[in-house]
Amino acid sequence: MKVIVPDIHLTIAACSTALAVIMCVVILLSSANDGARRERWWLFFPFGIAVPAGVLLTWPELLGKPFWGLQLGWFALTLVYGGVWNAARVSLGRAPRLLAVLLPCSAALLFNATVGADTAWPEMRMLPRIALFGLFNALAAREFWRLPEHQPPSAMTLRWILTAFAVIDLGRTPLAPLLPGPLGVDPTQLWSLALFNFALVLEGLLLGVFLTALRREQVAARHLRLAMVDPLTGVGNRRALDAAIAQLEEAPPTKDARPVAIAMFDIDCFKLVNDELGHPFGDLVIAGAAHVAQELFGPGQVYRTGGEEFAVVFRAATMSDALRRADRLRKAFADRSHREGSTVRRCTISVGVALTGPDRGPRALLACADEALYTAKRGGRNRTIIAGSLLPVAITPVLRDYPRAVRRVSLGD
């Protein structure tokens, strides 16, 4: 019986190509229902191009002329690395750079088919390819290094994976004349072919796994943000406030940190505004209150706790500092005109302020500020009250701009 001994070189290359096909299928199946078609196709792109690249490098005679089969196979492989860079960009919400990939890859193909075709200088063919591999890996790594802190775990892992492979590729570029193919220009050896394919498959598997994981982490983070944002105003909701309070309680005390203050405020006579001017106008007033608070305290510090009630978490040096800033909010809102068509009105808010102390932590602060708020409401509205005090800050008269029904109730309470 005749035993057929397989060509080990051919087997290694064919297995790498088969793994690229498998990764294409896995990526399509894993992201089939996530609704992100653009991101899915850019993630698919490098693995999809790797299939014809592997076929042409394994069987270059398929095109009739092995020389062109090899040239186009290497061209496709450089596109694979460029596709990785673009997949990284798109996964991070940035625009792809397709032309920036096609131009250098096409230039390398043209160079290899002309000047590099001279067999007296075989390293001339290999150097541009290896340099492009390292360049595109470095560019992909740079996309992740540009990210701010506190990113998903997969983004941090991809940063180091791409950096490591960029260093390897750029590091072996000057060594290409000394290494066997496909690592360099000398005749191919079994170990060099196996190492090249191992590195190629390893990078592909790692990128496929972690780019897919990054996509899922981004979707989960987006859902979490939506669950913590009030859709009407764009500020945090009660769940986000609870999370912020919990974070403050768990944070270790620092010597130079200023005390935490909480201001709770509520739109005065809001039900009457809604009844007389309608819910759309009421929504406008609520959104206006959130906008004024964000202008004064900055994003991420304002929370809508329900209905027309809000909370602001900020740091203040002293109670008088907290009171001054909270009352500035009251005055700024009182000066704001709310407009819808020909309807123009002004409204007021009542504010309760509390500051952390030796026996009052961030969570207890909420109850204290809330109590101060209702003291301000019972005391006549449009005022700022410090927790534990019955002394309001001076009232700003804006009742002349209220609807008649609102004015009557405000003067009567």
User: Does residue 332 share a domain with residue 212?
Assistant: no
User: Does residue 248 share a domain with residue 222?
Assistant: no
Lowest mean pLDDT among 33-37, 112-116, 131-135, 172-176: 33-37
User: Does residue 20 share a domain with residue 94?
Assistant: yes
Q: Burial, 171: exposed, middle or buried (Cβ in 10 Å; 0-12, 13-18, 19+)?
A: exposed
Report which of residues 91 and 178 the model is more confident about. 91
Q: Does the residue 138 lie in any domain? A: yes
Amino acid at 214: L
Q: Does the residue 23 lie in any domain? A: yes
User: Does residue 332 share a domain with residue 211?
Assistant: no
**Structural domain harbouring 22:** 8-227
Q: What is the pLDDT of residue 304?
A: 95
Lowest mean pLDDT among 78-82, 107-111, 237-241, 355-359: 355-359
User: Does residue 242 share a domain with residue 217?
Assistant: no
User: Does residue 296 share a domain with residue 199?
Assistant: no
Q: Does the residue 2 lie in any domain? A: no
| Tens digits of residue pLDDT in 354-394 | 998 767 778 888 889 999 999 999 888 899 999 865 444 44
Q: Does the residue 232 lie in any domain? A: no
Say which CATH number the domain at 242 has: 3.30.70.270
Report which of residues 226 and 104 the model is more confident about. 104
User: Does residue 311 share a domain with residue 202?
Assistant: no
Q: What is the pLDDT of residue 399?
A: 37
| Tens digits of residue pLDDT in 20-78 | 777 777 776 766 666 567 777 888 888 888 888 888 888 888 888 888 888 898 899 99
Local structure of residue 337 (DSSP, 8 states): E
User: Does the pLDDT at position 205 exceed 70?
Assistant: yes
User: Does residue 288 share a domain with residue 269?
Assistant: yes
**106, containing H or E segment:** helix 98-113
Q: State the alpha helices, DSSP H only, in 228-278.
A: 238-250, 270-277
User: Does residue 342 share a domain with residue 215?
Assistant: no
Cβ neighbours around 256 below 10 Å, total: 4
Exposure string over 347-380, b if 16+ CB within 10 A, otherwise e: bbbbbbbbbbeeebebebbbebbbbbbebbbebe
User: Does residue 373 share a domain with residue 253?
Assistant: yes
Q: pTM of this prediction?
A: 0.68
Which among 179, 204, 227 is the end of a domain? 227
Which among 165, 197, 227 is the end of a domain? 227
User: Does residue 396 share a domain with residue 261?
Assistant: yes
CA dist., res. 385 & res. 350, Å (int): 8
Q: Does the residue 137 lie in any domain? A: yes
CA dist., res. 39 & res. 51, Å (int): 20
| Number of structural domains the chain divides into | 2
User: Does residue 77 share a domain with residue 121?
Assistant: yes
Q: Does the residue 1 lie in any domain? A: no
Which pair of tokens denotes residue 305? 């706790």
Which among 227, 247, 274 is the end of a domain? 227
Task: Give Cα 299 to chain centroid, integer Å.
Answer: 17
Identified catalytic residue from 39, 143, 308, 309: 308
Q: Does the residue 287 lie in any domain? A: yes
308 is catalytic: yes
Under 8 Å between Cβ of 395 and 377: no
CA dist., res. 383 & res. 224, Å (int): 35
CA dist., res. 79 & res. 102, Å (int): 7
Q: Tell me if residue 180 falls in helix, strand or coil.
A: strand
